[in-house]
């Protein structure tokens, strides 16, 4: 069983640039990252090599230039990171994770509407799961099927 790599904070910043652009050279990643914080181009290059070794990115050659692209989708990476926090920090308690997130800042009206929709959807999924369990339980309690009737025929 292979273990999917987990990006460090700096690797996640690089991945965000690649997810936004689809693919990018070391120079392009460096230019984008240096807008937000000082970083040397050689450092970006070293990170990308390490990230490739970890399986987070891959490259192709365009002439003599390496063009990098992310291996994992943003949603997959986000789910993995949140799952780690959920289980390591909150022992799997989703309500505590959400409470902690809500305590960081006040959500917008749009975010609250999305959260309410997600809760409605989750409740529907739970109800469907409960109905399926009920159906299975009823099937287990039902009497066995009747044996087929003997055919009347000529003997």
Residues 111 and 59 occupy one common structural domain: no
Asked whether residue 17 is domain-assigned, the answer is yes
pLDDT at 139 over 70: no
Percentage of residues in the chain having pLDDT higher than 70: 81
Sorted by sequence, the CB contacts under 8 Å of residue 94 that are 6+ apart come out as 86
Sorted by sequence, the CB contacts under 8 Å of residue 115 that are 6+ apart come out as 107
Asked whether residue 77 is domain-assigned, the answer is no
Q: Please list, residue by residue across 118-152, b when 16 or more beta carbons sit within 10 angstroms of its beta carbon and e when fewer do.
A: eeeeeeeeeeeeeeeeeeeeeeeeeeeeeeeeeee
Asked whether residue 37 is domain-assigned, the answer is yes
The residue range of the domain holding 33 is: 9-70
Asked whether residue 152 is domain-assigned, the answer is no
Q: Are 45 and 33 in contact (CB under 8 A)?
A: no
Mean pLDDT calculated for residue range 4-13: 91
Collapsed DSSP state (helix, strand, coil) of residue 65 = strand
Other Cβ atoms within 10 Å of 62 Cβ, number: 10
Asked whether residue 50 is domain-assigned, the answer is yes
pLDDT at 122 over 50: yes
Report the pLDDT value the prediction gives residue 3, as an integer from 0 to 100.
Answer: 67
When mean pLDDT is compared over 30-44, 120-134, 140-154, the highest value belongs to: 30-44
pLDDT at 10 over 80: yes
Asked whether residue 134 is domain-assigned, the answer is yes
Looking at the 3D structure of the chain, how many domains does it have? 2
Which CATH number goes with the domain that contains 33? 1.10.10.10
Asked whether residue 147 is domain-assigned, the answer is no
Asked whether residue 19 is domain-assigned, the answer is yes
Report the pLDDT value the prediction gives residue 125, as an integer from 0 to 100.
Answer: 80
Percentage of residues in the chain having pLDDT higher than 90: 75
Q: What is the mean pLDDT of the chain?
A: 87
Cα distance between the two ends of the chain: 64
């Amino acid at each position: 069983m292979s273990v999917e790599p987990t990006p460090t904070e700096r690797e996640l910043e690089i991945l965000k640039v690649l997810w936004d652009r689809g693919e990018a050279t070391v120079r392009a990643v460096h230019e984008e990252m240096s807008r937000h914080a000082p970083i040397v181009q050689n450092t970006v290059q070293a990170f990308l090599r390490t990230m490739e070794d970890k399986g987070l990115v891959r490259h192709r050659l365009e002439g003599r230039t390496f063009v990098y692209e992310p291996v994992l989708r943003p949603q997959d990476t986000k789910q993995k990171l949140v799952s780690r926090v959920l289980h390591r920090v909150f022992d799997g308690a989703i309500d505590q994770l959400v409470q902690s997130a809500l305590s960081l800042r006040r959500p917008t009206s749009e975010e609250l509407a999305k959260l309410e929709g997600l809760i409605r959807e989750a409740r529907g999924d739970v109800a469907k799961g409960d109905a399926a369990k009920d159906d299975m339980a009823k099937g287990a309690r039902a009497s066995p099927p009747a044996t087929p009737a003997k055919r009347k025929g000529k003997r």
